[in-house]
Structure formats: C-alpha cells, structure tokens
Amino acid sequence: MSYHEAPTIAAADAPRLDQDDRPTLRFVTCGSVDDGKSTLVGRLLYDSKTLLDDQLDALASESKTAGTTGGDLDFALLVDGLQAEREQGITIDVAYRFFATKLRRFIVADTPGHAQYTRNMATGASNADLAVVLVDARKGVITQTRRHSHILSLLGIRHVVLAVNKMDLIGFDGDRFAAITAEYLTMAGQLGISQVQCIPVVAPDGDNIVAASTRMPWYTGPTVTAYLESVDVAGDVSQRPFRLPVQWVNRPHADFRGFCGRIASGTIATGETLTVQPSGLRTRVARILTPGGERDRVTAGESLTLTLIDEIDISRGDVLTAGPEPLVSDRLAAHLVWFDDEAMVAGRRYLLKCGTASTGAVITTLKHRIAIDTMAQESATTLDVNQIGYVHLNLDRPLVFEAYRDNRDMGSFILIDPISHRTAAAGMIDLSLRSATNIHWQRLTVDKSVRARLKQQRPCVLWFTGLSGSGKSTIADLVDRRLAELGRHAALLDGDNLRHGINRDLGFSNVERMENVRRVAEIAALFVDAGMIALVALISPFRSERELARQRVEAGEFIEIHVATPLAECERRDPKGLYRKARAGELKGFTGIDDPYEAPQAPEITVDTSELSTEAACERIIRYLREHDYL
C-alpha cells in the first residue's frame, strides 16, 4: 500500500501543545565553496529526525542520480533546492530550513560561499543570532573566512561556532585543529566577535554533529547540536528605550485613528507619555490593541495598534519614542556592504529605507574601504560588488535612528537604486554627523495654513510630466494665466528655464538629471510652504523620482498631471528639433527614443493633447482643482 496511512499514536509519545514553547534560535551558516555547509545543514536535519519518509525516499533516489557521493546519501541535496544549484553542485542562494530538538527550534539560513554571492551571506546574517562558520581542515582560515567573519561582525553577530570540517582528511590531527582554532580566535578578537566555540567535525559522517565523535577522543567540548541547544544569545531589546516606527495609520471610520507598527525596542503602557519624532510633539497612549486583544502593556517584537489621547499629525516613517531621545539627523556615517554590480559612486542619489521611513540619500564621501585580506582601511573612490566601506550620507529629510550596535531595527538600512530598483547596498549606521538640535524645524508663527487662508487657496504642486514636445509647458503656462485671472497665487517652474538659472551647472547624465528633479521638487515644496500653487513642467521620466517629489510635500498637496500625448505625435510636432537629432544619433539618452519614460500608474489627472485642445486640458485641470477644494 503506497498511499499514506496515518500512524497510530501512543498517547504518551505525543508532545503536548501547551508544553511546547521551545525558544527559537536563528543561525546562519557560512564558508567557502565545498567546505560542506549544505552537507552540515542536511546532516542536522537528518539527525534531528526532522526529515519525513517521503523526503528520505526522494533523497535516496536523488543521491543516486544527482549526488556527488557515489550513491551514498548526499545530504547537501536536501538544501540545494534550485535546479541550477544541483547542476553546478554549489549553493547560489539563501535557503531557510526549519528543525527542532527537544530543547529548541531552529531556523537556519544556509548561505553560499562563492565570492560573488557575499550579499546572500549578509542577508542570512541580518536576522541571525549566531553563525556557524565552516572551514576545510586542509585549508584552515582563508580569505573567504575573513570576509565572512568581517560581515558577521558588521552585522552584529557576537556568537560564532567555528566548525572545522573534513577532519578525516587530515587524519583527525588535533594539533592542526588547535592551530586553526588559534588563528581564528585572533581574528575574531580583532573583529569584536566575543563568543567563539570551535568544534572539529566530519559533516557527511556526522562526527560531533549530534553524537560525539569516537574518532577524535582528544576533543572534549560540546557537539554542534549540544552547543546550539544551550548557547545563550539573548540581548534583551525590551530593556532599551521604547521605539515604535509607525508603519501604517488605521482609519477605518471617523471615530478611530490608530497607529500600527512593530515595537523595535522597549515597552510601553497605557497612559504613558510618548514623543513623536522627528516632529518632537508629545502625547500619551490611550489604548493598545494587540492581535490577542486589548492590553495595558506591550513589549519589543510585538505588532500592535496604538491610539493616542491627542489628535496630532503622525504618518508612516515617524517614530513613537519614550525615554532618552533617539538620534534625529539628515547626515550620518555608516558601514556599507555593496551588493550591486553597478559600483557605488559618490554623489549619486539612492533611495534609503530605514525602519518604515524612506528618503532620498546621497553618498557624499567614501571615507575608506576595507581591504579584506588584512582588514586594513584603504582609501578608495568607489565600492564594487561585495566590497565593504565606510561612508557619509546626506538625506533629503531628517531620519530618526540609533546606532546599529545599539539597536538593529533602528540602525539598519538598505539603499535602492532609483532606476534599476535593485537593492544596491545594506547599511549599518555608526553615528549622526550633526545633532538634531541644529535642524529641528523652526516652528514659524505664520505657517502655511495662515498664508493659504490669506490667499483663499489650498497650496499644492501641479506636477506636469510627459515626453518632450507633449505640451507640458504650454498647458502649464495657460493654467498659470487662468489662475492669475481667478486672482490666485501661483508660480511656474519650467524645466528648460530652470536650466538657465539654478540648474545651469547640471548636464544630462542620469545623476545630473536626478539632481535636477530633486532641486525642482525642493523649490516647489518651498512655494507650497509659502501658501502658493507651484506649477512644475518637467519630463521627469522616472516614477521613483516623482514619488520622491510627492513625498517632499504633505498628502494631498501633490497633483501629478500626466500629459500623455503619444510618442508618435510628440515626434511629429518636434518643436525643438530634438527628436530628429535623437533619431539621427546626434543626441544620446533622449527620453522616449533611447531612454525610458515610466508613465504614472495613478496620476491625479491625465490629459492627451492629441485629443484635447490646450484650452480643454487647462479647463480639466481647473475643474479638478475646484472639485477638490484647492480653489
């Protein structure tokens, strides 16, 4: 009978649910190609009896066809999941595995050792409490071991198991093991990895994995499993100051306004005082809603919804805090692990995500790069893929954070390339480069709303985006004139005209075009602060840039107008003769020809001048402004 029949259960054997709250240890494995990481993890799964009959059957048959062990069970096949990996015999991506022993649950991130996949190791380490570093007993500590250990230390891993594998191939030589151990401990000391346990193993045979090896009687320490079950990795974030990055504002109806998030550190109780950062406003906790119902007190790691006793403006990216103030700054210093094939360039703009906040960021300086062999700091102008460096960053707006060593959730960030959308780097914040007090916003007595009332309008940005020759400037000019006729106060920022003034130092490379858009967005935001309606006519081909411009002002203050005249029509008009030049190859990187235009997905207004006259397009915009109470 080959179908599955449920087993009969002896009541005494079955674990009881209410007793089953074993803690979870998350660890990462790292080492070079062929050090035997996947085999070690496969062995841990096998020995913990986590594998089930059908999985064992599959392993046995795959070991014969795809194995590298001459038909014996090839434990690496359990974890090398992707077809390409099985073909090449190497692990090329992080695999997450789950197993449990009587004392603990484990989540293991099996990460690749091949040099160009260092980013995956950093990925696995970012959520780990401990690392198992493998070395081949024949090779000892090599460059890859140094690189991985350095990344572990940057990512705040304090606990390492050094598994010296393939002891059988050096005749179970205890002196050789001692030498490797000594060399590694010296390096770990330099890196600030405080807890290291060195264990000699033979992963395929299981020596010192679960059972103590009989072939190495000179080793009296714990097995890998015994150590993982007992090591104390607790670093209690609940004892640190309260930090709650606001994820989402829950407003299901007019009577409820809750702030959702997961607590990064500390505890909070109803009635306690909170400071909202970066605004500095203070309030108190009214109610705490958790997945398990309403509670009086909650602690780090929990997802919850808070309501507050005051109605104050809080949105995603703000941080609710208590106790000592976090760092608030728009300039910071950080360690970077570079991931992208495209090298890091100082002066280029990236999108930075930290906690729930997103902001534009420019790497102003690369202070040094780490020479991985020696761990020495060397001067450099760029970081290539898999290189590590220390940088200064300027942000578009103040960020609320802490040093990574103090608080992982509040001190980690990623950089995203705004054009390719690849995750370009992982960052660990070291320190703030200027104190919060210097940049706390001056609260002005005459604020935006006062100015807006005087002018009888709601200030906003009308952002006209579209291909060259689509009619952006013509429509914007007419809207500007109509607003003047209506007695409203507006200012027109035309991309071409600004290039004669504030942006005349900028050319047309991707970096310079992004800077061009950033400056225009900043100027438009200043006009909005002054209570005015800012009209911007700019090709602004990339959605991410327009999104940054939108984030620069408050919700409801950014109106994206897609001038969606088709390319063929723009090219037919060709008012400046640019399409002809681009087609002739005289103009490189021209939007719509050899450079992309990312159309808005959900613009507030769309007009197409091949269907609408300029006047009709203008009227549609004015009507929108009236219907939405801007005028």
Partner 1 sequence: MTGQLDLAMEAPVRGASDEAAARHTATSHLQRLEAESIHILRETVAEFRKPVMLYSIGKDSSVLLHLAMKAFHPGKPPFPLLHVDTTWKFREMIEFRDRRARELGLDLIVHTNNDGLSQGIDPFTHGSARYTDVMKTQALRQALDLHGFDAAIGGARRDEEKSRAKERVFSHRSAAHRWDPKNQRPELWSLYNTMLAPGESMRVFPLSNWTELDVWDYILLEDIPIVPLYLAAPRPVVERDGALIMVDDQRMPLLAGEEPHLRSVRFRTLGCYPLSGATISTAATLPEIVREMMASRTSERQGRMIDRDSPASMERKKAEGYF
Q: Which of residues 500-539 bind partner 1 (CB under 8 A)?
A: none
272 lies in the binding site for partner 1 (CB under 8 A):
no
Q: 417 to 456, contacts with partner 1 by CB under 8 A?
A: 421-423, 426
Judged by CB under 8 A, does residue 485 bind partner 1?
A: no
To the query of whether residue 540 is one of the catalytic residues in this protein, the response is yes
Pairing outcome for strands 258-262 and 303-308: antiparallel
575 contributes a contact to partner 1 by CB under 8 A: no
Looking at 63, 329, 470, 540, which residue is catalytic?
A: 540
**Would strands 349-354 and 412-416 be described as parallel, antiparallel, or unpaired?**
antiparallel
> Would you count residue 101 as binding partner 1 (CB under 8 A)?
no
Nearer Cβ to partner 1 (50/614): 50
Binding to partner 1 (CB under 8 A): which residues in 17-46? 17, 20-24
Element (H, E) at 126: helix 118-126
Q: Are 39 and 201 in contact (CB under 8 A)?
A: no
Size of the site for partner 1 (CB under 8 A): 101
**Distance (Å, whole) CA 339 – CA 122:** 10
Give the dihedral sign, CA 388/391/397/403.
Answer: positive
For residues 536 and 491, give the distance between their C-alpha atoms in angstroms, rounded to a whole number: 9
Rounded Cα–Cα distance for residues 222 and 211 (Å) = 9
Q: Reduce the DSSP state of residue 144 to 3 states and report it.
A: helix
Amino acid found at 44: L
Q: Judge whether 391 and 385 are in contact, CB under 8 Å.
A: no
How many degrees, rounded to 5, is the angle at CA 600 between CA 596 and CA 602? 160
* Cβ distance to partner 1 smaller for residue 15 or 589: 15
Can residue 384 be called a binding residue for partner 1 (CB under 8 A)? no
Applying CB under 8 A, which part among 8-16, 208-216, 457-465, 552-560 lies near partner 1?
A: 8-16
484 lines the binding site for partner 1 (CB under 8 A) = no
For partner 1, which residue of 413, 463, 464, 527 counts as binding (CB under 8 A)?
A: 413
Distance CA 338, CA 342 (A): 9
Q: Is 412 in the site for partner 1 (CB under 8 A)?
A: yes
DSSP 8-state symbol, 207:
B
Min dist CB 250 to partner 1, Å, is 6
Question: What residues numbered 389-408 form the site for partner 1, per CB under 8 A?
Answer: 408
Q: Whose Cβ is closer to partner 1: residue 5's or residue 175's?
A: 5
d(CA 162, CA 184): 8
What length is written for the chain? Answer: 631
Stretch near partner 1 under the rule CB under 8 A, chosen from 200-208, 370-378, 491-499, 598-606: 598-606
Q: Which is nearer to partner 1, 3 or 441 (CB)?
A: 3
- 302-341 residues in contact with partner 1 (CB under 8 A) are 302-303, 305, 307, 309-310, 316, 339
Question: By C-beta, is 32 or 358 nearer to partner 1?
Answer: 358
Give min distance, CB of 411 to partner 1, in A: 10
Q: How far apart are CA 117 and CA 32, in angstroms?
A: 11
**Binding-site member from 25, 44, 95, 209 for partner 1 (CB under 8 A):** 95
